[in-house]
Amino acid sequence: MSNKEIWVIAEYDDGGIKKSTWEAISAAGLLSGYLKLKPAAVILGNGIQRFTEELSKEVEIVYYIEHPLLSKYDSNAYVKCLHQLIKDKKPAIIIASATIRGKDYIPRLSGRLNYGLITDCIGFELTDNIIFKRSVYGGRLIATVKFEESELWIVTVRPRCFEYKIPLNPLLLRGTEGAVKGEILHVKPALGQQDIMTVIQEIIKETGKRPDLSEADVIVSGGRGMKGAENFKLLEDLADALGGAVGASRAVVDAGWLPHTFQIGQTGRVVSPMLYIACGISGAPQHLAGMSTSKCIVAINKDLNAPIFKIADYGIVDDLFKVVPVMIGEIKKDKNN
């Protein structure tokens, strides 16, 4: 694999390249140095040339696949475009973020290529075989997985599990005068209207200034103990004081208190923030599977025997409606000093 490339499939939104992509690039950097691979990024869309300059500061090659039919995400179109480029360039490893989008098209791409796939990695060990780590059984165990001999490896990495460290190699000195930038290559895909399998009628964007759950440093999450949708205003105030996002357990979503987009767990979003505050959440295995890799977990619950306390770094056994207002007041007081 010494003369080949390691690719990161980039994601972006209106705010620019997503943080999860920079984290994936950091993961690729560790592997590229160890395996002597050339780091590259691939980005798909329409009107995306503005992102290529930023990516070229971090990798040696940027492939941008641009086509009017890629203006809106379509998994079938993504798979066809990437399949064409992979067959042409033959990279050694492909890395993508285990986001909602990555979980959609990457397994299809793996199936079409008939190559192995390791999903939702939270780390790896640089041994002779490269051992990838995955969280299993609701975060209670860490599975170690490796590829057998294969022409191509495909890996998705969980957001927030790799620290964003750049540059990837000495040739790419980010922010340095006279820095060497990566090569930018424009790719024109053979894409037709027949390849678009889904017609998107409307995109409704969430309003508000809170960060996306998958990229938030702080998440304040509520469960059945919140007693009703109207009480989530309390958690919103705490999240805003900390510059974080608001999440919820499955019970909250099933009760109709919050939309499904707020759900954290095995059937919702998988998150790994620096700080996770669980308010009135008992800690069912389904929920733990979505947040157990958080760096610091604080649990607030009246039930001393709640399972959430078994994985919490800090536990507060008390009424959340007494505790959270005090937390908000202390945080605001600290900010004013």
Q: Among 145-154, 187-196, 251-260, 315-324, which is the least confidently predicted range?
A: 145-154
User: CA nearest 99: which of 80, 119, 114, 113?
Assistant: 119
Model confidence pLDDT, tens digit, residues 310-334:
999 999 999 999 999 999 999 998 8
Residue type, 206: E
Fold adopted by 213-336:
Rossmann fold (3.40.50)
**pLDDT (mean) for 275-286:** 95
Residue 123 in tokens: 């780390």
**pLDDT (mean) for 119-132:** 87
SS3 per residue for the chain: CCCCEEEEECCEECCEECHHHHHHHHHHHHHHHHHCCEEEEEEEECCCHHHHHHHHCCCCEEEEEECHHHCCCCHHHHHHHHHHHHHHHCCCEEEEECCHHHHHHHHHHHHHHCCCEEEEEEEEECCCCCEEEEEECCCCEEEEECCCCCCCEEEEECCCCCCCCCCCCCCCCCCCCCCCCCEEEEECCCCCHHHCCCCCCCCCCCCCCCCCHHHCCEEEEECHHHCCHHHHHHHHHHHHHHCCEEEECHHHHHCCCCCHHHEECCCCECCCCCEEEEECCCCCHHHHHHHCCCCEEEEEECCCCCHHHHCCCEEEECCHHHHHHHHHHHHHHHHHC
Q: What is the pLDDT of residue 334?
A: 87
Q: What is the pLDDT of residue 77?
A: 94
180 has a pLDDT exceeding 70:
no
Q: What is the pLDDT of residue 168?
A: 53
Q: What is the mean pLDDT of the chain?
A: 89
Residue whose tokens read 């640089």: 126
Superfamily designation of domain 5-195: HUPs (3.40.50.620)
30 CB-near residues (< 8 Å, 6+ apart)? 124, 126
174 has a pLDDT exceeding 60:
no
Residue type, 322: K
Q: What is the pLDDT of residue 260?
A: 92
Model confidence pLDDT, tens digit, residues 103-115:
999 999 999 998 8
**pLDDT (mean) for 232-256:** 96
3 has a pLDDT exceeding 60:
no
Q: What is the pLDDT of residue 330?
A: 94
Phi, psi of 320 (to 5 degrees): -60, -30
Q: What is the pLDDT of residue 165?
A: 61
**pLDDT (mean) for 169-173:** 47
164 has a pLDDT exceeding 60:
yes
Higher pLDDT, 299 or 196: 299
Q: What is the pLDDT of residue 208?
A: 64
43 has a pLDDT exceeding 60:
yes
Confidence class for position 196, pLDDT limits 50, 70, 90: confident
**Rounded Cα gap, residues 103 and 241, in angstroms:** 32
Confidence class for position 157, pLDDT limits 50, 70, 90: very high
**Rounded Cα gap, residues 243 and 313, in angstroms:** 21
pTM of the model: 0.81
Model confidence pLDDT, tens digit, residues 45-88:
999 999 999 999 999 999 999 999 999 999 999 999 999 999 99
**pLDDT (mean) for 119-141:** 85
Q: What is the pLDDT of residue 45?
A: 94
Question: Domain coordinates of the chain in residue numbers?
Answer: 5-195, 213-336
Residue type, 218: V
35 has a pLDDT exceeding 80:
yes
Q: What is the pLDDT of residue 207?
A: 62
Residue 68 in tokens: 């009017």
Domain 5-195 shares a fold with domain 213-336:
yes
**Rounded Cα gap, residues 42 and 93, in angstroms:** 12
